[in-house]
Amino acid sequence: MRFVDIINKKRLNQPLTKEEIQFWIDGYVKGDIPDYQVSALCMAIVLNGMNREETRDLTMAMTYSGDVIDLSAINGVKVDKHSTGGVGDKTSLSLTPMVAACGAKVAKMSGRGLGHTGGTLDKLESIKGFDIMIGQEDFIRQVNEIGVSIVGQNAQLVPADKKLYALRDVTGTVQSIPLIASSIMSKKLASGADTILLDVKYGEGAFMQTVEEAKVLAKTMIEIGTDCGRDTRAMITDMNQPLGKAIGNALEVKEAIETLKGNGPEDFTELCMTAGSIMLQQAHIAKDETEARAMLKEAVTSGAALQKLRDFVKAQHGDVKMIDNPELLPSARFMTPVKTRSAGFVTDLKALELGNLAMRLGAGRATKEDVINPAVGIVLNKKVGNTVRMGEALAIIHHDTPLEENWLEDFYNTFTIEPTCDNVEPLIAAVL
């Protein structure tokens, strides 16, 4: 089999066989097929797509390119949730203790962030002593005992995806639904959960720009999961503005803790409730959404969800005092309110630009080698639909170095304030 023939076949918009896809992934992981040939194939896929069978076969070839985690030693249904990413997305920090407090088993592997803010692991490491690299035996025992663990991804998990994504990132071949779907689902399948809930973002701060594009991606991933025998569902959610109010690692941990106390932002709380109700149904703990929501609400109001976060942090050697008193979390030297220059209604808020502004403060990484400052970030006081009076603070900026004038101008440009606000898009556009 010659790889150039596979490239030509896809260039002519012909479907690839399972054997051809396996030959591609095996050869690329081993180093037998060079980057320039794989980039040519990826571009042909961007232009011509892949059918359902090809996408499934690519996902499975990538899944088994390295280790596949066996979670069979964990009792009960193992549930997992994946977000396609967004600004202020701290969902796992609140959602996993909530569903674990209701009896679900969450054995989650997460990654670090590259871009505007840290990933779930970076946020957890804002907590002093928190260990993201516990061994698999401890990981399984912890999930059996307290219902939740979040750890770093095994270095040998889906090596094909690591190589392919790095190549796609520099060859203009990221924007392809079969390639995006297989990348996400190969990691989820290799992580071993029985059920998968996908939070597919759309809008200015997301991969997919529209609800329709997000639905196509979600349906593709649901098809992959279904074909592989996993209960896979999806939410389509808005990322035209940040989720919640906090952007930045320790600030997002504080917001997650407040949410578990019942004091979280309305949009973030609703996303956790919707996601949690789906996961409890997937785990066969609740028979319908009404029962699931009642269980989640009780877990919060009784304090059980917050206690589950304490148990989770303690089990992974984190300082529980930071959960009991979030003021002990890393804090910035300066807290500067940025006051509005006009009155009216917030009609638009540029999520991605706000995320990049947080990164410029030190909350995210421009390169893999960058060191995150957990203390810095932005806490929004105003979001889309809110009224703004002259001189009110739009946000509080948490920073360790003086704010530059061009940073402030760029911040003001993320807000659009107009005399009227006709319509506010719902956070959750669809559940599939």
Active-site amino acid positions: 82, 161, 168, 183, 187
Q: How far is CA 366 from the centre of its chain?
A: 18
Nearest to 142 by CA among 98, 192, 93, 107: 107
Q: Give the separation between CA 41 and CA 264, rounded to whole angstroms.
A: 46
**For residue 183, what are its two tokens?**
């990348």
The answer to whether the CB of 35 falls within 8 A of the CB of 56 is no
Residue 178 has φ and ψ, to the nearest 5°, of -60, -35
Side chain identity at residue 217, one-letter code: L
Characterise 284 by phi-psi region: left (phi > 0), alpha (psi -120 to 50), beta (else). left
Indicate the SS3 state at residue 179.
helix
* Alpha helices in 232-334, H assignment, sequence order: 249-260, 266-282, 289-301, 304-315, 321-324
3-state helix, strand, coil in the chain (%, to 5): 45, 15, 40
Dihedral angle of Cα 301, 302, 303, 304, to the nearest 10 degrees: -120
